[in-house]
A and B are shown apart, each in its own frame.
Chain A
Amino acid sequence: MNQPASAYFIEDRHDPNETHTLSVLVQNEPGALARVIGLFSGRGYNIESLTVSETESQKHLSRITIVTTGTPMVIEQIKHQLDRMIPVYRVVDMTLTKRSIERELAMVKVRGEGEHRVEALRLADAFRARVIDATTESFVFEITGNTDKINQFIDLMRPLGLVEVSRTGVAAIGRGPEGM
């Protein structure tokens, strides 16, 4: 690469990007989520999905699940940067453990009549999606699964009258008896 004359070394990296799911256990205090999000925007990291909720109210603990992409070096940085934040207890790379389950919930609104309506119901059944609201011209389906499964379901609904989708983002947990 032809370097422009500059005070900085401008590097073009060719390392391929990877996608990782990180579980972060934090003290549930004001600003904790803002810190995490600010870290990602401030240092130019990607957030593909982020979910957060208090998981142990007695101990004021929240669990944040982040799906992010980056080169292996960037992913390692993200984990260290998260880990050094004062309210963060632990950061676990669920992708590296290779023993984690990831789920996402989506509510999918489909509008249509006749054959489309029947087809939507049939596909929902095949995907184990539940009908949680119905009118004579629409359904709202609830579906849980990993991201791929939900994407696939949404793609199938598109020609059948997809109106809108609301997704929770990914939640992840490790297999086996141990906690994080």
Chain B
Amino acid sequence: MSDKSHDPNQMTGAAMIVRALIDHGVTDIFGYPGGAVLPIYDEIFQQSEVQHILVRHEQGAGHAAEGYARSTGKPGVALVTSGPGATNMVTPLTDALMDSIPLVCISGQVPTHLIGNDAFQECDTVGITRPCTKHNWLVRDVNDLAKVLHEAFYVATSGRPGPVLVDVPKDVQFATGTYHPPRKSDVHRSYAPRVKGDATQIRKAVALLANAKRPVIYSGGGVINSGPEATKLLRELVEVTGFPITSTLMGLGAYPASGKNWLGMLGMHGTYEANMTMHDCDVMLCVGARFDDRITGRVDAFSPGSKKIHIDIDPSSINKNIRVDVPIIGDCGNILGDILQVFKAEAKKPDVKAWWQQIAQWRARNSLYYRKSNDVILPQHAIQSLFEATRGKDTYITTEVGQHQMWAAQFFGFEEPHRWMTSGGLGTMGYGLPAAVGVQVAHPDSLVIDIAGDASVQMTMQEMSTAVQYELPIKIFILNNQYMGMVRQWQQLLHGNRLSHSYSEALPDFVKLAEAYGGVGIQVHKPADLDGAIQEMISVKRPVLFDCRVAALENCFPMIPSGKAHNEMLLPEQANDEATAKAFAGGKALV
């Protein structure tokens, strides 16, 4: 053997990790040091290609990496220590799994010889994270590390994207071995996600679309994950066919909210026209969505008269909740391209004028109606004002989870993909603030706003400190109704208005809190002051906590009550006490 000391590919495990990050084009990572990752932190200290953002809690690192990933289309990277560092990552990993976000988490582990000994800060990280990652690895030999890291990036970003975790014992970080750059053979031979759709199925789909009288396109986060080409093709398909389109919470922005065929979001808090169109359609084209229970309502009454086409890259999404007629497995962008090509060659633009007339009648019900007030700020009005004030600006929105999230989805119009970061599947309160940190790191000059609730935002408030440290001018727009609003709404509607533990009894003074962190606090009570305060928030080039005091007991409508179908929505003007009681008649809640 020749002298290995001059071989540039000979390096420690810790150096390999940093090298692999560079080789995969990673410029920013989010993490928190600890005993089991010190060798990696030592390597990070001695280079300048990868910027490390120090968070205040590992959950913050995970959500920041998610925000980074969703706003860029690139994988987000988090680095955490063993034991509590890893267990604190469980929530973001699960969140990323549910929402198909590419995330690479590197965790330190106690030295190999101590694994299984209940050593200090030891936990079974791969065991704990197995069900909340797309795949995970424990690397016991430094010579496997390069291959595993490259495979991890590939698995996270290909097929249906998702989170992965690589657990690296401390002795492996110290050990010297051979690194190699990414190569094709780094990937499991058993992992080959299907990209191209089946031609026969595509023809069947086009035949259905071409003959549709009452069609609808229902798109989801898969279109955004697929990349800019899929978004372009989706818009083209809507244009070529003239069909109405609705999106899931995850899919907002793929079709512009100002587009003429846009119906608004569908589902539990979707618009009346979107849900009625879904219910009464004769052909449904589902692109990159998964018939989630927030979308379908009562499954046995879901769009009963329609033929359903389902495009998804994950075969396990097909027929999971709803039986479909034409499943097409593959990448949305690829398949939309094929559908368009066949459609343009063989089909005429279907006549859907009558269908649009019907939709216009549903739209006329104005299901997002709310009564404005001169005395108190309505949360819907606050979001609309925020939207108006940011129109034309380079804006990214994140949210927490609850009423404010649904109002943001209903009232903030998204024109482009990757602009809307929200925890859809897992519904993680505390997602939005750290996600905003991640988005701002990726887009330093853009306007990044976390539309938050007073309860959610306190779950990860400590990341304000991160924002201040790195001069990330994120804006935390808190719709402060002094309640866990969605919990309170459900308690009112389903549990006899017994508001068990949903009142925020001891809220902090958000203005003082912002100042304590070194940020800026703004508070507004009066509708007349709202626009000015929003302008002030936008013009401040520092992190802002915006305490928007809103009507405390406002409910989020329209709404599909549980166990009901799309055509049994409760609209705001009907939501008087009697109608509400009737819609929610039944026994006590089980879940």
Contact = CB atoms under 8 A, between A and B. Distances in A.
Question: Is chain B found bound to chain A in the same assembly?
Answer: yes
Interface of A: 2-11, 26-27, 30-31, 34-35, 38, 42, 73, 76-77, 80-81, 83-89
A124 to B, nearest CB: 43
Interface stretch (B293-301, B384-392, B516-524): B293-301
A7 B486 CA distance: 11
B131 A80 contact: no
Contacts of B318: 80
Contacts of B591: 6-8, 10
Counting from the closest, the 8 A-B pairs by CB-CB distance are: A3-B563, A80-B316, A5-B494, A5-B586, A86-B135, A89-B190, A6-B589, A4-B587
Interface string B465-508: 00000000000000000000000001001110000000000000
A135 B13 CA distance: 59
A59 B589 CA distance: 52
B188 A8 contact: no
B150 to A, nearest CB: 14
A84 B299 CA distance: 25
A111 to B, nearest CB: 40
A87 B134 CA distance: 11
Contacts of B588: 4-5
A2 B126 contact: no
Given A2-B587, A86-B155, A11 B314 contact: no
B571 interface: no
B315 A80 contact: yes
B27 interface: no
Contacts, number: 93
B378 to A, nearest CB: 24
B189 interface: yes
A46 B296 CA distance: 26
A7 B490 CA distance: 8
B590 interface: yes
B130 A38 contact: yes
Given A27-B188, A86-B191, A87-B190, A5 B131 contact: no
B138 A30 contact: yes
Contact of B562 (A5, A26, A86, A89): A5
Given A6-B494, A9-B296, A34-B127, 4 more contacts: A5-B493, A5-B588, A86-B191, A89-B190
A44 to B, nearest CB: 13
Contacts of A7: 490, 494, 562, 589, 591
Contacts of A83: 315-316
B136 to A, nearest CB: 8
Interface residues of B, number: 41
Interface in B575-591: 584-591
Contacts of B494: 5-7
A6 B591 CA distance: 6
Interface string B161-191: 0000000000000000000000000001111
A5 B586 CA distance: 5
A73 B160 CA distance: 22
Nearest to A86: B135
A94 B591 CA distance: 37
A77 B131 CA distance: 16
Contact of B300 (A11, A38, A87): A11
B372 interface: no
B320 interface: yes
A29 to B, nearest CB: 9
A88 B315 CA distance: 14
B135 A9 contact: no
B319 interface: yes
B314 A84 contact: yes
B149 to A, nearest CB: 15
Interface centre among B126, B127, B191, B297 (most CB of A within 10 A): B191
7 contacts: A4-B590, A5-B587, A11-B299, A34-B130, A42-B131, A84-B315, A87-B188
Nearest to A1: B563
Contacts of A10: 563, 590-591
Contacts of B314: 80, 84
Interface in B438-473: none
Nearest to A35: B130
Contacts of A85: 135
Given A2-B586, A26-B190, A86-B191, A8 B130 contact: no
A81 B317 CA distance: 9
Given A35-B130, A80-B315, A5 B589 contact: yes
B556 to A, nearest CB: 13
Interface in B389-429: none
Nearest to A83: B315
A76 B190 contact: no
Nearest to A80: B316
Given A38-B130, A80-B318, A86 B190 contact: yes
A21 B578 CA distance: 53
A56 B320 CA distance: 33
Nearest to B316: A80
Most interface-central of A7, A8, A77, A87 (chain B CB within 10 A): A7
A89 B127 CA distance: 22
Contacts of B300: 11
Interface in B291-346: 293, 296-300, 314-316, 318-320, 323
Given A34-B127, A87-B188, A88-B190, A9 B590 contact: no
A127 to B, nearest CB: 40
Interface in B188-213: 188-191
Contacts of A73: 319-320, 323
Contacts of B299: 9, 11
Nearest to A82: B316
A139 to B, nearest CB: 41
Nearest to B586: A5
A9 B316 contact: no
B123 to A, nearest CB: 15
Nearest to A59: B189
Nearest to A78: B316
A11 B297 CA distance: 11
A4 B589 CA distance: 5
Contacts of B297: 9
B590 A6 contact: yes
Contact of B316 (A4, A5, A27, A81): A81
Contacts of B191: 86-87
Contacts of B586: 2-6
A85 B319 CA distance: 18
A38 to B, nearest CB: 6
Contacts of B584: 5
Interface string B49-73: 0000000000000000000000000
A8 B293 CA distance: 8
